[in-house]
Structure 1
Amino acid sequence: MLSPVSAGVSTAPTGEYGPEGVYVMRSGGLLTCSGLRGREAEREELQALIASVARTGCGGLALLQGEPGIGKTTLLAEVVTMARAAGFSVGLGKAEELHRIVPLSSLAACVLHGDQPLLSGDAFADLARNQDQRIWLVERLAEAIEARAGSKPVLIALDDLQWADPLSRFALKQLPARLRTSPVLWTLAGRPDPAGQAEEIVASAARELPTVAVPLGPLSRVAIRQLAEDTLGAAVDERVRDLLDGAGGNPFLAVEMLAGLGGTDSSGDLVPSTLVVGVRGRLRSLQAGTLRFLQMGAVLGRGFGFHAAAALCGQSPATLIPALEEALHTGLLDDDGDQLVFRHDLLRQAVYVDIPPSARKALHREAARHLVAAGHRPIDAVPHVLRGALPGDEEAVALLRRAAEDVLPVTPDLAADLVTRALELAPPARPLWFDVGEQAIVCLTRAGRSREALSTGDRLLACRPPLDVFSRLQAALGGTLWSMDLAEELRRRAESALAVTGAAPQAEAKLTALRALALSRGDDLVAARKAGEAALRAATAAGDREAHVLALCGLGEVAQNAGESAVALERFAALSTIDPAFLPEEIVAHLHMDDFASSGRLLLQAADDAGSMRQAMMLWAQGQHDLGLGRLDDADAGFATMERLEDDVQVPVQQVNARVIRSRIALLRGDRETARKHLTAAQERLTVKPNPGNTAAVRFLEAVHAETDGDIELAVDKIRQVQQEGFFMRWRLLRGWVDSAIRTALCGADHALAEDLAAQARAHAESNPGVPTATGIAAQALGLVKNDPSLLEDSVALLKASPRPLARAAASADLGRALLAAGRRPQAVAALTQAHDLFAESGAHAAAARLQHDLDGAGAGSRRAACIQRPVQGWGALTASEKKVARLIAEGHTNRSAADLLVVSPHTVNTHLTSAFRKLTVNSRVQLANLVRALPDAEPTRR
């Protein structure tokens, strides 16, 4: 634990060592600010940020950076002191070099320590046990911090950021922006980061909240001399001033010289040497047992347990008491009550570098064995393994594999690195090497490093493994190829592996299922279905769960691509029963059946058990649900949130389709500029995942935009391109876009294309006789092609049973225009009015405006009041959902409690809140509450 330094004036040269190795003088019970000599401007800047967070109620972030010993820890301690004085609740932690890969170890130090820990040790342990996704874990941390910030401002301070573990760095990229509307100040201190990770954290926060970068350079000569006078309690002479010039403006080195750790020569003069040389001189005066004890501690880390060091020394703790006392007396170590700590990491490093490299490796290996024997998690021993393992060390390989398995759910990239290192250590072309390689393929794929996974697999296969191993490796590579959208290559490899005898039943079942999955993306869906059913039988016979999941997934894909909604639902429901992670697919399958009641029930279920779900895919399902019900604002927010979460974990699955849908929503609203931006984003993302589905979706969106721009010829050509993508893609149009495509084709005088589209709609309806939307759209398509008002009347009648207001509105609009052309004005006005109101209620203002033009032409009364577009700023600019969220937050709800009331995810609440803050030009929940209190009577806050 770091000790805060309070301001005061020194009158006597008695004191103690404080943070950053600064000798802090005592006087009248107060500690001086001697460690802050030359940092007055930086202190004022940080104090202003503290005051701003406390005053405004919005977040802030500060990054302190500088070389080792430059005063970062001292300044951070001063921030803690100032924040506590301002009424902040403080969480203070320090990242450790040898814990830099242990997931969430760095932030754990912040949330578990301090005057009022943000989480109890038990709560944090429970959080770590039950997490299975980075996003879910970060959201739970955000909720804990947000709850504390509701009663008082919070400071979260982390020292030695350069050693933060990957999961903590991931959280630090998300949390400041996520909590920007709460009074939370993040203060991070670390060395300059060549990899730019600290800068990435600041850049992520800077877009949303005030940030301050505080670079710490060398102190001036004047500041160093003032520091010397503080330390010595008297003016310094010329000899000492000359010595201090050798510190290069580094306060830690200066104080070490002044404190005498550099030793003396025969004349009694201080030795102006480097720190390492100085520490060596000091160590030479120690007992041999003390020196060995310090070296063992240096191997274990800056902070280490007395018993662990004793075990590494091969002695009982009792026999090492004299060594411990001498180490403490020298000022090299402190005892914080829980563990021993080198007073500064530079001191630990100075001791550590004097250990011969070969001895270091052996000691790290022994440290790893001790940690494992003491019951620590494999990941706790991994830092020592990485420093001490040699090629062929099978014990190290086993430990790295176990650690990789443990961390895979939350830090797949780290898991991939660990198992890749294990592969390097394993004896080549031996059974263990192939086993580790198979695990490496899986971990690399999960980490999104598919090309590396494929390269690793091919390298293993090139060594001609036994037939059973060959089959297992090809099965492992199946997931890699599927993630890379290489369906044809997946089919080829699966068939090649199946043609070789000798595979175990489980591997053969997986390969059979993978082949069926690959065939689901082809033109022959009948063959794909047969392959999937055979795969399901093989998986059941082999009793292999993974093969069972793959077979059901393939059968679901086949049914979905064939437009057989009932069959797809059956397959995906069975799949989510085996693996709840596939619940989003089941929800979407219910939507394709027009069963919004079941999809809504499952979304509620998912909200209660969000930890076990794929967060981004659940938001995709929620967005589809809202879109189907005509909730354009909620759907747009859901898809935007989904894309943000996919960006966070760098796994872009549905980003192309989300942008396509959001572009169409913007066009319905009449926001052509935003629609164009979404189109551009979809086109850019298509280059990342250029599969047939994404390609067809973007091509159709390009057709819609071309028609909007008046280029009918280009629009028709784009629709033809979609048709040429093959039968596999047609279901995408038939669920809600076919009417738009037919109108475009007719406008472009391509009657044959319109008839082809109508025939597809009819075939789709025949495959889904119990789905009102499918049967209604088929009748609408035929009515458009034949220009037959009676068929369009049938479509409106059929669609009355559909839960989709936008589909009902489009059919009524087509009927109204056909009736108007036929001279049946009263009936036309009724149909157009119904369509107008449905579009307006959904927020489709542009579509409603076009119908108003038709109504004006028919001489009907104006209905413009129903579709007045929202302003850009102010309360009136908020959507209905944003108003609900704003009122709940203003009442004091957290994101979680507001989400529970509105039956949405906290991520969606955050998206609505972000938009509301932007439109209202407020920066904190306090400002929002003041604004809401000034409004007229409250509106309802629940759906």
Structure 2
Amino acid sequence: MAGAGSPLSRSGLRGREAELAELQALINSVARTGSGGMALIQGEPGIGKTTLLAEVLSQARAAGFSVSAGKADELHHIVPLSSLAACLLQGEQPLLSGDVFADLARNHDQRIWLVERLAEVIEARAGDVPVLIGLDDVQWADPLSRFALQQLPARLRTSPVLWVLAGRREPAGPAEEIVAAAAGIFTTATVPLGPLTGEAIAQLADDALGAAVDERVRELLDGAGGNPFLAVEMLAGLRTAEATDDSVPPGLVVGVRSRLRSMNPGTLRFLRMGAVLGRAFGLQDAAALCGRAPAVLIPALEEAVRAGLLDDDGEHLVFRHDLLRQAVYADILPSARRALHREAARVLVASGHRPIDAVPHVLRGALPGDEEAVALLQRAADDVLAVTPELAADLMTRALALVPSVRPLRFAVGERAILVLTRAGRSRDALSTGDELLAARPPLEVFSRLQAALGGTLWSMDLAGELRRRTEAALALGGALPEIAARLAALRTLALSREYDLAAAREAGETALRDAAATGDREARVLALSALGEIAQNAGENALALERFAALSAVDSAFLPEEIVAHLHMDDFETGRRLLLKATEAGAPRQAMMLWAQGQHDLGLGRLDDADAGFLTMEHLEDEVRVPVQQVNGRVIRSRIALLRGDREAAREHLNAARERLGAKPNPGNTAAVLFLEAVHAEADGDAGLSAAKVRQVQQVGDFMRWRLLRDWVDAAVRMALSAGDHELAEDLAAQAEAHAGRNPAVPTATGIAAQALGLVKNDLAMLERSVELLDAGPRALVRAAASADLGRALLSAGRKQRAVAALTRARDTYAESGAHAAAARVRQALKGAGAGGGRAAPVQRPVQGWGALTASEKKIARLIAQGHTNRSAAELLVVSPHTVNTHLTSVFRKLEINSRVQLANVVMALPDS
């Protein structure tokens, strides 16, 4: 067999001149423009993908790229991040050191967090030199690596990073998903490799055999079907075979056998054990599977390397090609393979490998009733749950399938499967699994545990009524352990938080919290505090809600977003800002919910551009992890922002999106939010009657909606009612606002809006003036502007023109500073009506393209990036999420019609004030 560097080692380049030229052009483009790119080399096994990829890597190095490349492995295709780790840890200057990667692995409690950290490392390197990241056999990439490869190109679109993937053709496979995610972001190219021409195959024969090539050999090579690897293996067989008249076997398995026949039996056994372990394997593991000491196998290893079947990369033994491993593997009897995989799983675990490393062997070797395999699958699921919940759910489903229905173990495994399926967003599967187990009539204690496990499932499905029915039934039956009873009681309280009798719900919650404390069960405590926080919010008791959510986030930091929003409801934006900064620095979990909190913070301060970008980024992150929580409310708020700006088309798009998402999560809060948005749109369309009718529908959704939805928007609802001549509705709304103020006397927004609502209903100038005074003590810019506008119009009606102009001018300026240009325009019309001429000129309509199209936030970020800041350093300066910076930056590139940071720097430098 030819060694490295020989013609055979580069045989995949025969007949690939056009494909190589296309890839070279992409390398040159990324280096020249400083923007990203992606290439996918596709073809059947042995067609030359790996050799072509190796040549691309070589050419990129010569062009000054920092190159990191790796290869996914068939038997490691479920190990989280194993494929991408192979890329990042390879090369002369690896993007990550082993220590840094180990630190990432210890801390990756969230997929989004991990991707952001990886992006920072790659972005930093790309700031110095262009980067190429290559991954061979992408069809076997593990789920977390696939997730990262779908997100990272978009995150790094403004950096000179070239992604080169090689894999088999698989419609709707991982490679296609990754390329589809990058399409439209930057240049992508799919390079299919078809069979070589007869001329190229003849060149391979000349490379291998020289003058020995005759017509008989050329006819035999036709059996390779233009596949260079098969042709090379057949040629190698010819070159090493005995000089006889025997015909050359056409099949690869037979061809490999012809080489194995002359080997020592010990070498053959060693190769078969290696083939079971995977394309890359450790000598120690192979020795254990052979039942021999590693030193005894050295001769077998040396013989396999000499035969060209194995390479030694210094850390692992590697089959020189996947097809070689598969050929050796195919020569093992199927029953023996299953037994060897079971033994391989035991060997790997015994030698200290992670459970997930042994899972591929468990999946190939486990039989029903194998409790050892079930335990291993459960351990592996627990290990990967935080970063690949979908994989964890698959592992638990497989574990449950291995447990016969007659065994008690099935209930314990099923309980865990319910929890993991719910965490993965597969709530319907979780519910059907739970109901199937409950139908088996388990003992009361088990019945209670299963119902408790299903509690989170039902809550995520917005089935509060069903959650209450089940928890009450389980508690009534008895037989639950104290900690399970505490969880059931807390879950029942969570269900009660959606009902009308909040006093009874609070009493139940306090009892549940005491039970949780008595049992010391953390989960019960988290559930009880969460329920009590929900109840306090629904009752409009902001201080109590803050107390509950602060206690909750102290127990579990994942609930920090709820605490931040509770601070905002108390008008404590300074503490909210401090906690947001802390979360940004620490990489807090639930980053989508953290963006929700950030958006609420920016909206409250009147930063409409930042709020809109934050809610957009939140939706993207929720889409990425497939856990939609705030998408309805996010679209509702973005629609209102668009109306304030005067973008009716965008506002209508957001309304339609909110309606569509309501179908997936039709809980009372989402229903009320969409109804209220429809009321706002009806008002904007001039249909006062419809807007008032929609507000009445909001009232009917649930009493508690008045606090959650109308907390900051009741003034708008009052104006709608008055415009429709529905004074009774307006008075009811004002009474609600007054009751809310009574519950929150220390919150300027609550007391100020109550005075504003009452002033509007009674047309009371003194009360409207009082509302402006109260709201001046609060932080909410848009709320202050609305109150000043109401006061100005009332003063105009009363003939007090000078004071009216002052109030209206203040409202106009506040709206304009926030970017609420449509609202400012309406106030400007009132000023003209007062004979004041509208004051400052209306802002010129923002263009669609060019520097003038950028928002204030986008301009800040553009200047920072042009100065050399990374997304993270820019985010730290602006106290926002790096994800939000990326959202702004994507918009900047689109509006400026550029593709790289270099181009952005040139644009900024050319500005008159730069």
For the aligned pair, the TM-score class normalised by the smaller chain equals over 0.9
Residue 126 of structure 2 contacts residue 161 of structure 2 at CA under 8 Å; is this kept in 1?
Answer: yes
Tell me how far apart the structure 2 counterparts of residues 279 and 665 of structure 1 sit (CA, whole Å). 68
Whether 1:800 aligns to 2:787 is: no
Root mean square deviation, CA, Å = 1.6
Tell me how far apart the structure 1 counterparts of residues 252 and 4 of structure 2 sit (CA, whole Å). 17
Where 1:892 maps in the other structure, the secondary structure is coil
Q: Which residue of 2 aligns with 1:24?
A: 7
Residue 703 of structure 1 contacts residue 719 of structure 1 at CA under 8 Å; is this kept in 2?
Answer: yes
Distance 1:392 1:15, change over 3 A: closer
Tell me how far apart the structure 1 counterparts of residues 508 and 368 of structure 2 sit (CA, whole Å). 44
Shift of 1:278: 1.7
Where 1:169 maps in the other structure, the secondary structure is helix
Q: Which residue of 2 aligns with 1:769?
A: 745
Q: Which residue of 2 aligns with 1:28?
A: none
* Partner residue of 2:267 out of 269, 284, 290: 290
* Partner residue of 2:334 out of 336, 345, 357: 357
Shift of 1:920: 1.4
Residue 263 of structure 1 contacts residue 270 of structure 1 at CA under 8 Å; is this kept in 2?
Answer: no
Q: Which residue of 2 aligns with 1:223?
A: 200
Whether 1:592 aligns to 2:600 is: no
Tell me how far apart the structure 2 counterparts of residues 572 and 625 of structure 1 sit (CA, whole Å). 17
Tell me how far apart the structure 1 counterparts of residues 483 and 171 of structure 2 sit (CA, whole Å). 46
Residue 157 of structure 1 contacts residue 187 of structure 1 at CA under 8 Å; is this kept in 2?
Answer: yes
Q: Which residue of 1 aligns with 2:717?
A: 741
Please give the residue correspondences for 1:842-921 in structure 2 after superposition, counting only pairs within 5 Å: 842-865=818-841, 867-921=843-897
Shift of 1:899: 1.2
Shift of 1:316: 1.6
Shift of 1:281: 2.8
Q: Which residue of 1 aligns with 2:71?
A: 94
For residue 139 of structure 2, what is the amino acid of its counterpart? Q
Q: Deviation per CA, 1:482-508, whole angstroms, max 9, x where unpaired?
A: 111110000000000001121100000
Residue 837 of structure 1 contacts residue 866 of structure 1 at CA under 8 Å; is this kept in 2?
Answer: no
Tell me how far apart the structure 2 counterparts of residues 522 and 507 of structure 1 sit (CA, whole Å). 23
For residue 403 of structure 1, what is the amino acid of its counterpart? A
Tell me how far apart the structure 2 counterparts of residues 34 and 292 of structure 1 sit (CA, whole Å). 30
Tell me how far apart the structure 2 counterparts of residues 235 and 87 of structure 1 sit (CA, whole Å). 42
Q: Percent identity over the alignment?
A: 77
Whether 1:651 aligns to 2:627 is: yes
Residue 825 of structure 2 contacts residue 842 of structure 2 at CA under 8 Å; is this kept in 1?
Answer: no
Whether 1:158 aligns to 2:135 is: yes
Tell me how far apart the structure 1 counterparts of residues 417 and 901 of structure 2 sit (CA, whole Å). 46
Tell me how far apart the structure 1 counterparts of residues 245 and 758 of structure 2 sit (CA, whole Å). 104
Tell me how far apart the structure 2 counterparts of residues 857 and 175 of structure 1 sit (CA, whole Å). 54
Please give the residue correspondences for 1:621-770 in structure 2 after superposition, counting only pairs within 5 Å: 621-770=597-746
Tell me how far apart the structure 1 counterparts of residues 501 and 238 of structure 2 sit (CA, whole Å). 80
For residue 737 of structure 1, what is the amino acid of its counterpart? W
Q: Which residue of 1 aligns with 2:806?
A: 830
Where 1:871 maps in the other structure, the secondary structure is coil
* Partner residue of 2:442 out of 448, 465, 479: 465
Where 1:79 maps in the other structure, the secondary structure is helix
Distance 1:235 1:881, change over 3 A: farther
Q: Which residue of 2 aligns with 1:7?
A: none
Where 1:390 maps in the other structure, the secondary structure is coil
Q: Deviation per CA, 1:291-316, whole angstroms, max 9, x where unpaired?
A: 11111110011111122111111112
Q: Which moved more, 1:147-156 or 1:740-749?
A: 740-749
Residue 506 of structure 1 contacts residue 544 of structure 1 at CA under 8 Å; is this kept in 2?
Answer: yes
Q: Deviation per CA, 1:361-400, whole angstroms, max 9, x where unpaired?
A: 1111111111111111111111111111111111111111
Whether 1:408 aligns to 2:408 is: no
Tell me how far apart the structure 2 counterparts of residues 744 and 347 of structure 1 sit (CA, whole Å). 75
Tell me how far apart the structure 1 counterparts of residues 212 and 35 of structure 2 sit (CA, whole Å). 46
Whether 1:145 aligns to 2:122 is: yes
* Partner residue of 2:375 out of 369, 376, 398: 398
Distance 1:266 1:840, change over 3 A: same
Shift of 1:282: 2.6
Shift of 1:550: 0.4
* Partner residue of 1:79 out of 48, 56, 69: 56
Distance 1:46 1:234, change over 3 A: farther
Please give the residue correspondences for 1:505-516 in structure 2 after superposition, counting only pairs within 5 Å: 505-516=482-493
Q: Unpaired runs of 5+ in structure 1?
A: 1-13, 26-30, 939-943
Q: Which residue of 2 aligns with 1:54?
A: 31
Tell me how far apart the structure 1 counterparts of residues 709 and 349 of structure 2 sit (CA, whole Å). 58
Tell me how far apart the structure 2 counterparts of residues 613 and 640 of structure 1 sit (CA, whole Å). 18
Where 1:535 maps in the other structure, the secondary structure is helix
Shift of 1:711: 2.3
Q: Which residue of 1 aligns with 2:523?
A: 546
Q: Which residue of 1 aligns with 2:431?
A: 454
Q: Deviation per CA, 1:888-933, whole angstroms, max 9, x where unpaired?
A: 1111111111111111111111111111111111110011111111
Residue 50 of structure 1 contacts residue 83 of structure 1 at CA under 8 Å; is this kept in 2?
Answer: yes
Shift of 1:234: 4.4
Q: Deviation per CA, 1:302-350, whole angstroms, max 9, x where unpaired?
A: 1111221111111122222232222222222222222221111111111
Tell me how far apart the structure 1 counterparts of residues 723 and 842 of structure 2 sit (CA, whole Å). 29
Shift of 1:877: 1.8
Q: Which moved more, 1:911-920 or 1:833-842?
A: 911-920
* Partner residue of 2:397 out of 414, 417, 420: 420
Where 2:547 maps in the other structure, the secondary structure is helix
Shift of 1:757: 1.2
Shift of 1:261: 6.3
Residue 644 of structure 2 contacts residue 822 of structure 2 at CA under 8 Å; is this kept in 1?
Answer: yes
TM-score (norm 1): 0.95
Shift of 1:789: 2.1
> How many residues are aligned here?
914
Q: Deviation per CA, 1:388-422, whole angstroms, max 9, x where unpaired?
A: 11111111111111111111000011111111111
Q: Which moved more, 1:457-466 or 1:170-179?
A: 457-466
Tell me how far apart the structure 1 counterparts of residues 232 and 194 of structure 2 sit (CA, whole Å). 17
Where 1:186 maps in the other structure, the secondary structure is strand
Tell me how far apart the structure 2 counterparts of residues 903 and 74 of structure 1 sit (CA, whole Å). 46
Residue 830 of structure 2 contacts residue 838 of structure 2 at CA under 8 Å; is this kept in 1?
Answer: no
Distance 1:925 1:386, change over 3 A: same
Residue 537 of structure 2 contacts residue 708 of structure 2 at CA under 8 Å; is this kept in 1?
Answer: no
Where 1:907 maps in the other structure, the secondary structure is helix
Q: Which residue of 2 aligns with 1:4?
A: none
Q: Which residue of 1 aligns with 2:209?
A: 232
Where 2:606 maps in the other structure, the secondary structure is coil
Q: Unpaired runs of 5+ in structure 2?
A: none
Shift of 1:662: 0.5
Shift of 1:734: 2.6
Q: Deviation per CA, 1:436-471, whole angstroms, max 9, x where unpaired?
A: 111101100000000000111111111111111111
Residue 237 of structure 2 contacts residue 258 of structure 2 at CA under 8 Å; is this kept in 1?
Answer: no
Residue 261 of structure 1 contacts residue 279 of structure 1 at CA under 8 Å; is this kept in 2?
Answer: no
Q: Which residue of 2 aligns with 1:373?
A: 350
Shift of 1:861: 3.6
Shift of 1:878: 1.6
Shift of 1:287: 2.2
Q: Which residue of 2 aligns with 1:810?
A: 786
Residue 700 of structure 1 contacts residue 719 of structure 1 at CA under 8 Å; is this kept in 2?
Answer: yes
For residue 636 of structure 1, what is the amino acid of its counterpart? D
Q: Which moved more, 1:39-48 or 1:190-199?
A: 190-199
Where 1:690 maps in the other structure, the secondary structure is coil
* Partner residue of 2:90 out of 86, 90, 113: 113
For residue 382 of structure 1, what is the amino acid of its counterpart? V
Shift of 1:15: 4.8
Where 1:217 maps in the other structure, the secondary structure is coil
Residue 262 of structure 1 contacts residue 271 of structure 1 at CA under 8 Å; is this kept in 2?
Answer: no
